[in-house]
């Protein structure tokens, strides 16, 4: 009986030892892959050349503001990616102020005070010229002294998705 107990204890010990060693003897493999890449980020260039501020009074009830949008800078560097842009006129416009925007003497449609998207190419130098015509309507009952407005022109741009 003592021998039988010893054999059972040794067998249990051997089974426990084998179970522990099985975990270490199974192969665990993993791989690590390193990929090095280099990519240049396109340098977007969009410059807005502002004109002189205009002031509209009772005597001068109309003003024209000139500006341009271009895809190159003063150093001659050209935009490296095609860009889409639109022009937004920011103001609390009311019925006494009329705003029109022209590109190369052609009137652009304003929807929610924004133009449609226009494209600046990356392959050639491009400069688009704009005129914003602001007119105070004297025929309305509100005097110009009651209307103090700053009108801002913003150019929003986005890189063309390829």
Output the pLDDT for position 28: 59
Output the pLDDT for position 63: 85
For the chain, the structural domain boundaries read: 47-159
- CATH code of the region 47-159: 2.60.40
pLDDT tens digits for range 62-121:
889 999 999 998 898 898 888 999 999 887 766 677 889 999 889 999 898 899 999 998
- Candidate ranges 22-31, 100-109, 141-150; pick with highest mean pLDDT: 100-109
Q: Please, what sign has the CA dihedral across residues 101, 103, 107, 110?
A: negative
What is the phi/psi pair of residue 12, to 5°?
-60, -45
């Amino acid at each position: 009986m003592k021998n039988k107990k010893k054999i059972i204890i040794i067998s249990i010990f051997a089974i426990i030892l084998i179970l522990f060693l099985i975990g270490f003897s199974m192969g665990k493999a993993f791989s690590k892959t390193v990929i090095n890449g280099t990519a240049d980020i396109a340098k977007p260039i969009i410059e807005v050349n502002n004109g002189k501020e205009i002031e509209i009074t009772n005597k001068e009830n109309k003003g024209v503001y000139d500006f341009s949008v271009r895809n190159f800078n003063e150093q001659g560097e050209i935009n490296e990616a095609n860009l889409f842009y639109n022009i937004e006129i920011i103001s609390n416009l009311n019925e006494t102020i009329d705003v029109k925007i022209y590109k190369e003497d052609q009137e652009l449609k304003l929807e929610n005070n924004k133009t449609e998207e226009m494209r600046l190419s990356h392959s050639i130098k491009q400069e688009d010229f704009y005129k914003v015509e602001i007119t105070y309507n004297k025929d309305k009952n509100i005097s110009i002294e009651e209307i103090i407005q700053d009108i801002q022109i913003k150019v929003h741009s986005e890189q063309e998705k390829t």
